[in-house]
Structure 1
Amino acid sequence: MDDHAEEDFNRSERAQATGFMGQSSEISWMQRLQREADHGSTQQHDDHFNGPDGLHAVPESDINDVYKDTSTTSASYHLDDLGVSISEAVEPYAIPPRETADKLFNAYLVSVHPSFPIIGKAVFTSQYNLFYDQPSAMPGHKWLAILNMIFAIAAKYSLLIQAGGGVDDRDHLIYFTRAKALSMNGDAFFSHPDLQRVQVEGLVAFYFLATGQINRSWKFSGISVRSAFALGLNLRSGTADTSDISKEIRYRVWWSLYTLEHLLSTMTGRPASIDDGVCTAPFPIPFEEENFHDENVSQLLNLHSFRDRRVRSTISRLSNISTRTSTSLPASSTSGPAANHDQAQEQVETDWLRTITPNASLYFLYFVDLTSIMQEVIRSLYTARAIHTAWVDTEHLIARLSSKTEAWRSRLPEAYDVTIRKGSATFQRQRLNLAFLYYSTKITLTRPCLCRLDRQAAHTRKLKKFTHDTAALCVSSACHMLDLIPDEPDAIGLSNMAPWWCVLHYLMQSTTVLLLELTFRARHMPDDAKTISNAMKKAIRWLHHMSQENSASHRAWMLCDGFVRRLATDIGLDVSDLPMHPRQQNPTVIQTPTMTTTSYPEPNATPWEVPHQNHLEPLASSFFVPVPYGEVMHPAICTDYDEYLLYTTATEETTNYFTPTFPDMDQT
C-alpha cells in the first residue's frame, strides 16, 4: 500500500495548525496506538503484515471506517493552534535593563548554545558588551533581532526553571514580537538572504520548537535552510576573502541548522530540506572559539586535508572500512601493508579524538555525528520510497544502521559515555543530551519491528525471530531512556539538565512505545511485563508533574493518561497509583501538586539512583502470548546526577581579535 494522507488537513484551522504527521512522528505512533486499542482485540487484521509501517496493515477500503475517530489533531500534544502574538503594542527598539539582559544572555549561552551554536559566541559577546557599555552604538535591525530572539529563548527557559529575576510568562512573547518587528515585517521579510538573516530564521525556528509550536518551527527551519543554501553554507569554503575562523563559525551555523532540521523531520515525519549528498561543509572542529589561535587548532582550521583526516564522521569511517573489506579487487589490493596502514590510520584518528579535553565543541561534533545517523535511519525506513522496500532488505538496513549507532557509541570519550554510571558532573548536561538522542535513534530504528506478525507460512521463523528480537530492543531502549531521569519527578531539574526544548518529544517517544507493547500484551518481552508497566507509570507521573507549568506537557499527559485508563481494563493493569485528573476526583478536594523543588538532591540522594531493573512476573500471564525467542537487551544505561550544574555567569573573556568597531556591529 502506498504512503498516503488519510485526512484532509485543510478542513479546519486546527487541522491546518497541526498538519500532516508522518510515520516517524510519535504522534503518528499515538494514532496507531489508538487504532490498535479500538480494533486490535478483534484481530480482524492479524493476517496482514506491513513491516516498516510498524503495525498490521489495514485494507485501504477500510481506512475511513476503522480510523474515523483517530485524527492527527486528536493525537497531537503540540501547541500550534495557539497564537504567537500579544494584544498590546510593542516598542521594537526597547531593551531590558543590563542586569536582566545579562541573566538572559548567559542563560542562553549555558543551556542552548552548546547544542545550537548558530552565533559566534566570542564575537557576539563582544558586540553585546559594546552595545550595553556604549549607548551610542547603533547596531542594525537584524543584529537587534538576533539579540531579541536570544532573549526570547532564554526567557522561556527561565520560566521552566523558575529562575525568577522578574521574568514572567509573557516576556518571551514580547522579545519575539520585537524581533519580528525588526526583521520579519514589511519588505524585510522578502529581502535576500545574508548570514544574519539565516541566524534570525534559525533562532525563530528554535524558539517555536521550544514553545511547542512544532508546525511553525518546521516551516521556519525550512526557510532558514534555504537561505543557508543560497549563501552556500552547506559547502566547504575555498575563498581567500574569508578568514579561517569566520569559515568555522559559518560551518557551525550550518550544522546548527542541520541538527535542528533533522530533529524536526523526525518529530513531524515530514521530509527534511537537507540531504547529506548536498553537504560538503566539514564537520565542526572539537575545540572552543577561545582556542582557535592555538597552533594545533590553527592547523586544523588552515589545512583542509589535515582536518579531513582528523575530523570525520562515524559514517564516513565505516563506509571507508566497508569499501575496503567488501571490494572484489584482488587480495593484494585490500590486504598487506597498504590496507594495514589505512586501518592503523583509522585507529589513530579515533584515538586522537579521545585525547581532546572534553568541551562543548567536542560534544557538538558527536551530536552532529549521531544526528547524521538518525537522518539515515529516517531516510532508509520512513520515507515513501522505503515502504516499497522488501522486508528482508529492511531487516538488513536495520542491522547495518544498528552497527553504525553502536560504533558511534563505542567511540565516545569517557566524559560523554552514555553507559557510565557515575560520570563527570561537569559534562552531565551534554552527556544526557547525547544519551537521549542515542536512545531516540535506537527507538526510531527498531520501531518498525514493534508490530503484529502475521501467521502466514511465507514469513519464516528466522524473519519472525529477527522482528521479535528487534521489537524487544525497541521496548528496552524506551525503558533505558526513562532510566535517564529520576523516579521522583522534578521538572525544574530536568529542564536544567536535559535538552529542555525537545525533552517532551523524547518522553513521548518512549511512553508511546511502552504503551504499544502493553497493548500487544507484552508479547515481545513477557517476562518483563511488570518492568514495562512500571516504566510506563513513571512516564505518566513525569508528564503529570510537568503539566502543572507547561501546556504541551498537560496535553501529552491527558493523551497518555486517557489511553492508559482505557487500556487498563483490557489487560488487567492497576492504575490506582497514577495521578488523577481533577474531574475524576472529589470536586471539593482537588489535589494539584506544585513544583517546589528548586535544585537537584545531593549526589547520594536516593531518588537519583538509577532504578534496578527487576525482571518481575507478568501483569496477568494469561494475557501474554509466550514466545520461544531470547530477549535482546542492551546493557542498561546508568546515570547518576552527581552534582547539580548551578546557573553561573559566563566569565570567559573575548580576545581583541573579535572586538568589533561601530561599523562592524552587523557582522557575526
Structure 2
Amino acid sequence: MTATTKKSDRRVPPEQRKRTEHSCDRCKTRKQKCNRIPDQARCEHCERFNYKCAVTRPRKQRLYGSAEHVRARMVLLEVLVKGLIPDADLSSFESMREVGESLGIPMPEIEEGEYHAPQPEPSQNNEVVRVERKQQHLVQDQQGQGQYIGPASSYFFQLKLRTLLGRHQERICQMLLFGRNPTDETLRPSAIEVLTESEIRAVARPPQSYANGNSMSYIPALLDSSVIDGLVRSYFEHVNVDFPVLHEASFLENYDRWRFAPQAVDRAWVCTLLCVLILGRRINPLGTAETQQQKWWTHVESLLPSIIFTSSIQSIQALMLAALHLHNTNHRDVCWTLTGAAARIAVAIGLHRDDIVCEGPRLARELRRLLWWTLYSFEQIQVSSHDRPSALDGTMCSTSSPHERLLGVGSSLWPPNYTLWSTRLTSILGFACRALPTAASDPEHTGLSGLLSPAAGLLRDLTRWHASLPQHLSLNVFDTLPDSFKRPVLLLHIQYHYTVSLLTRHSLMQHLASLSQQSTSDGNEEEIELTAKVCCESGRKSCELLVQLHKCGKFNAVTWWDVYFVYSSTLVLALGLMWDRAQQRSDRTTIDASLALLHSCAAIVVNHSSNPMVPGTMRRWIGMICDLDVLVHEKLAPSHQVVQSVQSDVNASSSVANAIVELVPSMPTETYAPIHDLGVAMQPSAELSVSHLDSALIVPNDGSSNPTMGMPFMNDEGGFYSWDSIGCMLLGTDTLNAPMNCNMAFFTDTGH
C-alpha cells in the first residue's frame, strides 16, 4: 500500500468531521479540544472545573499555500514597508509594533509563534500598472548648456502657478540663476605660494597717478589691518551664525599664526580666509572696493583645483564658503557642483559616521559633527529647490547632534538645545526631499491618502517634532527671548513650515488645475481638503514669521536663504488664495488679509533691495516676488481697491504674539496696491515673453543684446567675476562640450 493510499484511508469524510467551531480561551491555552455541551454556555472542561468559558481570542489561521509562497510574500511586504519607512526595524514583533504605534496605527496583540498569514485573495488583474511619466526636458543656462531641473522643483512649481494665474509660457526657459561662464581672465594669480597678509591687503585699484601714466612703477596700496579684522568680525557675527562652517576660536588662532608665518597654514585655509572676507564684505564693506573683492575671488578660483583634490576638513570648509558665495551671485549651478564635491569629501573622511575614531581633542569631534550637519542642511535645501537626487544618503548617517556647550556657542549665538532640534528637522527635510519626485509625478495618490504614504508619515513626524519643542524654542515665549535668540528661533519655525508646504503643495496644485479644467471630482476629496488646509496654513504662517523677522530687524537679504523663503512662502500663499477663491468658502475679509500679507512680503524685499550689497540671486527672487504680487492682485483683488504706497505696511505695528501665533483674523484686512515697478529692469512679462529663437539670446555675447539678461542688478559685482567651470579648471582647457540642444525655443525666466 502506497503512502498516498494510506493518507487517503486515514482521512475522515467531511460529513463526519467534528472540528470545533469555536474554542474557548482556556482550552486554547491548554491546547486541547473544546467539547461543547448542547444547550450549555460552558464547555465540558469549564463546566467540570467551574471556569469562566469565554471566546475572545481570534480563530487560528491555517497556512494556505506553500512555505516558499509565504516566505516570498513576507519578503515583498518587508521591502514595501522599508521603502515607505526606511528606518523601520522589522526584526521582531515588538519593533514592528513600535513602528505601527509611531505612525498612529492600532496594532493587534500578537504573540510570537502564534500568528500565521491569512489566505490571500485571488487577484483579478495581475498586470503591472505602469505610471505614465511626462516627458521631461533640460533647461538651458546662460552658457547654452542643458541643466536638469526636476518636476518638483520650485522653478516648475512657480511656472505652474503662473499658468493658473493666466500667465502662459513656452515649454523651456533659460535659467538666469545659472550664470554665465566668461572666458575673459583678469587678475589671475599663481596658486603655487601661500598668500601673505600684504598680498591679501593689496588694493587692486591703482592710484590715480598710475592710471594717468605719470608713474613708471606701481606699488599697490594696502588696506589697513583693522579693515581685514572688521570683515572677519562681520562674518562671524552675521554669516557664521546661519551657516556654522567655522569655529571662531580655532579660525582666529590660525589667523594669528598666518599673519606672522604664512607658510604655517595650508592653501585651503587661505581660500577659507578669502571667502570669509568676501562674505563679510556683504555685511559691511568697510570702504573696500568691488575690485578688491574681485581680486580676492580670482585668488579663490586659482586655489579651488588643488582644494578639490584634497580630502580634509579645511577643504570642505573652503568649498562650502565658496559655494555660498556662488549661490548668492547667480551661479547656483556651480554652487551645486561645489556642494556635491564637499559632500563626497565629507563621506570620504567619515563625517557621516559617529563610530569613526577621531584623533585629537574632543572639540575636533564636535566640529566634525557641526560641519556635517551644516553641509547636510545646505545641500538638502538645494535638493528641495532643484528637485535633484541628493549626494548624501541620510539613512546611512549616524552622526549625532553636536554638543553646543563644548563648541562654546550654546549660550551666546543659539538657544539651548537649538542644534539638537535643528538637526532633527533637517533629517525630516532630507526624507521629504526623497519623496518629492513621487509627490510631483502623482500628487493625487501620494498626498495624505493612506496612513503609510510617505507624505502622511512625514507630516506626522513634523507634527510630533513641532509638538515636542521645548518651551524656550516655541513661539509662545518669543517676546521674552534675548535679542540674539530671536532670529534662530524664527528660522527654525520658518524651515518647519517650508518643509510642510514642500510635502503638500503639489497635491494642492494638481487639484486646483483639475478645478480650472472643470474635471470631475475624485474619491479623495476629503484627503485633498486636508492637504489644502495644511498647505495654505503653512504658507500663511511662514509669511507671517518672515514679516516678523523683518520687524525685529533680523532679516538677512545678503548672505542667507531669507529671500528664498519669502519667495517659496509667497508662492504657497498665492496658491492658497486661488484655492480659497475656487472653493468659494472664504469671506472677503480673509482674502483681503491674505492679499495684504502677500503685499507686505513684497514690500519687505523691495525695502531690502535698496541695499547695494544685496547680491544678484536675491534680486532675481525679489523680482519674482513682486511680479507674483502684481499677478495675484490683477487676478483676485477687487476693482475698487485703494492704491497705497509700497512701503505703507512694512512698518505697521502689531503685536509679536498676534503676528506669529494668531490665525487669519489677526492680520490687517486693508488692501494694498501691487508693486508694479522695481526699477531693476524686471517687467512683469519680461521673463516669459520671448517667442522666437534668437542667437543672441541662446549664447549671449554681451549685456546689450538682451535687457533681461544684461548686467547684474544694481551693479552686482558677481557678474564681473571671471568664473571658470570646474571641468575647465581641472582639465586646463578653455573649451568645453558644445551646448546641448533641446530642440525647443526658450524664454528667459528668473525663478528657481
TM-score (normalizing by structure 1): 0.65
Deviates more, 1:104-113 or 1:566-575: 566-575
The answer to which structure, 1 or 2, has the higher relative contact order (CA under 8 A, 6+ apart) is 1
Residue from 233, 254, 260 that aligns with 1:127: 254
| Identity value in percent | 17
Residue 137 to residue 7, structure 1, CA distance change in 2 (3 Å): closer
Shift, 1:259, TM fit: 0.9
Give the secondary structure class of the aligned counterpart of 2:405. coil
- Asked whether the equivalents of residues 446 and 455 of structure 2 are also in contact (C-alpha less than 8 Å), the reply is no
Q: 2: distance between equivalents of 1:409 and 1:276?
A: 21
* Mapping of residues 501-540 of structure 1, within 5 Å: 501-520=560-579, 522-523=581-582, 526-527=586-587, 528-540=590-602
Shift, 1:31, TM fit: 0.7
Structure-1 residue corresponding to 2:400: 282
Q: 2: distance between equivalents of 1:456 and 1:376?
A: 32
Q: 2: distance between equivalents of 1:416 and 1:85?
A: 50
Structure-1 residue corresponding to 2:287: 166
> Which residue identity does 1:222 align to in structure 2?
G
Residue 291 to residue 504, structure 1, CA distance change in 2 (3 Å): closer
Q: 1: distance between equivalents of 2:372 and 2:667?
A: 48
> Which residue identity does 2:162 align to in structure 1?
Q
> Which residue identity does 2:231 align to in structure 1?
L
Aligned residues: 494
Shift, 1:68, TM fit: 5.2
Residue from 551, 555, 574 that aligns with 2:620: 555
Shift, 1:271, TM fit: 1.4
Q: 2: distance between equivalents of 1:153 and 1:203?
A: 8
Residue 483 to residue 83, structure 1, CA distance change in 2 (3 Å): farther
Structure-2 residue corresponding to 1:577: 643
Structure-2 residue corresponding to 1:367: 422
Structure-2 residue corresponding to 1:541: 603
Q: 2: distance between equivalents of 1:174 and 1:573?
A: 52
Query: CA deviation digits over 1:396-431, x for unaligned, max 9?
Result: 333322221122223333332145441312311211
Give the secondary structure class of the aligned counterpart of 2:432. helix
Q: 2: distance between equivalents of 1:471 and 1:87?
A: 53
Structure 1, unaligned stretches of length 5 or more?
40-66, 293-355, 581-592, 621-668
> Which residue identity does 2:353 align to in structure 1?
L
Q: 2: distance between equivalents of 1:247 and 1:196?
A: 14
Residue 556 to residue 395, structure 1, CA distance change in 2 (3 Å): farther
> Which residue identity does 2:431 align to in structure 1?
E
- Asked whether the equivalents of residues 152 and 171 of structure 1 are also in contact (C-alpha less than 8 Å), the reply is no
Shift, 1:518, TM fit: 3.3
Shift, 1:450, TM fit: 1.7
Query: CA deviation digits over 1:146-172, x for unaligned, max 9?
Result: 11112222222x1xxxx3521445554
Residue from 369, 376, 393 that aligns with 2:431: 376
- Is 1:401 the counterpart of 2:458 in the alignment? yes
Structure-2 residue corresponding to 1:198: 316
Q: 2: distance between equivalents of 1:437 and 1:218?
A: 20
Q: 1: distance between equivalents of 2:445 and 2:343?
A: 33
Shift, 1:195, TM fit: 2.4
Residue 606 to residue 98, structure 1, CA distance change in 2 (3 Å): farther
Structure-2 residue corresponding to 1:148: 274
Structure-2 residue corresponding to 1:430: 488
CA RMSD of superposed structures (Å):
4.0
- Asked whether the equivalents of residues 377 and 445 of structure 1 are also in contact (C-alpha less than 8 Å), the reply is yes
- Is 1:464 the counterpart of 2:519 in the alignment? no
- Is 1:249 the counterpart of 2:371 in the alignment? no
Shift, 1:515, TM fit: 2.1
> Which residue identity does 2:421 align to in structure 1?
Y
Deviates more, 1:96-105 or 1:224-233: 96-105
Shift, 1:484, TM fit: 1.8
* Mapping of residues 201-212 of structure 1, within 5 Å: 201-212=319-330
Deviates more, 1:504-513 or 1:545-554: 545-554
> Which residue identity does 2:298 align to in structure 1?
T
Shift, 1:237, TM fit: 3.9
Structure-1 residue corresponding to 2:163: 35
Structure-2 residue corresponding to 1:45: none
- Asked whether the equivalents of residues 237 and 247 of structure 1 are also in contact (C-alpha less than 8 Å), the reply is no
* Mapping of residues 206-605 of structure 1, within 5 Å: 206-239=324-357, 241-290=359-408, 359=414, 362-383=417-438, 387=442, 390-391=445-446, 395-396=450-451, 397-424=454-481, 425-451=483-509, 452=511, 454=514, 459-460=522-523, 463-486=524-547, 493-496=553-556, 500-520=559-579, 522-523=581-582, 526-527=586-587, 528-549=590-611, 550=614, 551-573=616-638, 577=643
> Which residue identity does 2:304 align to in structure 1?
M
Residue 215 to residue 568, structure 1, CA distance change in 2 (3 Å): same
Q: 1: distance between equivalents of 2:627 and 2:413?
A: 44
- Is 1:180 the counterpart of 2:289 in the alignment? no
* Mapping of residues 29-108 of structure 1, within 5 Å: 29-38=157-166, 69=170, 71-73=172-174, 78=177, 80-81=179-180, 87-89=186-188, 93=196, 94-96=199-201, 97-108=224-235
Q: 2: distance between equivalents of 1:84 and 1:263?
A: 30
Q: 1: distance between equivalents of 2:181 and 2:654?
A: 40
- Asked whether the equivalents of residues 547 and 554 of structure 1 are also in contact (C-alpha less than 8 Å), the reply is yes
- Asked whether the equivalents of residues 379 and 390 of structure 2 are also in contact (C-alpha less than 8 Å), the reply is yes
Residue 88 to residue 291, structure 1, CA distance change in 2 (3 Å): closer
Query: CA deviation digits over 1:238-292, x for unaligned, max 9?
Result: 4374443322222222222111110111121211111112212222223242499
Structure-2 residue corresponding to 1:614: 665
Find the structure with the greater CA-based Rg: 2
Q: 2: distance between equivalents of 1:89 and 1:139?
A: 22
Structure 1 segments, 4+ long, off by >6 Å, are: 82-86, 455-458, 487-490, 615-620
Residue 248 to residue 151, structure 1, CA distance change in 2 (3 Å): same
Q: 2: distance between equivalents of 1:87 and 1:140?
A: 24
Q: 1: distance between equivalents of 2:138 and 2:520?
A: 38
- Is 1:117 the counterpart of 2:244 in the alignment? yes
TM-score (normalizing by structure 2): 0.58
- Asked whether the equivalents of residues 598 and 629 of structure 2 are also in contact (C-alpha less than 8 Å), the reply is no
Shift, 1:466, TM fit: 2.4
Query: CA deviation digits over 1:308-341, x for unaligned, max 9?
Result: xxxxxxxxxxxxxxxxxxxxxxxxxxxxxxxxxx
Shift, 1:557, TM fit: 3.8
- Asked whether the equivalents of residues 211 and 501 of structure 1 are also in contact (C-alpha less than 8 Å), the reply is no
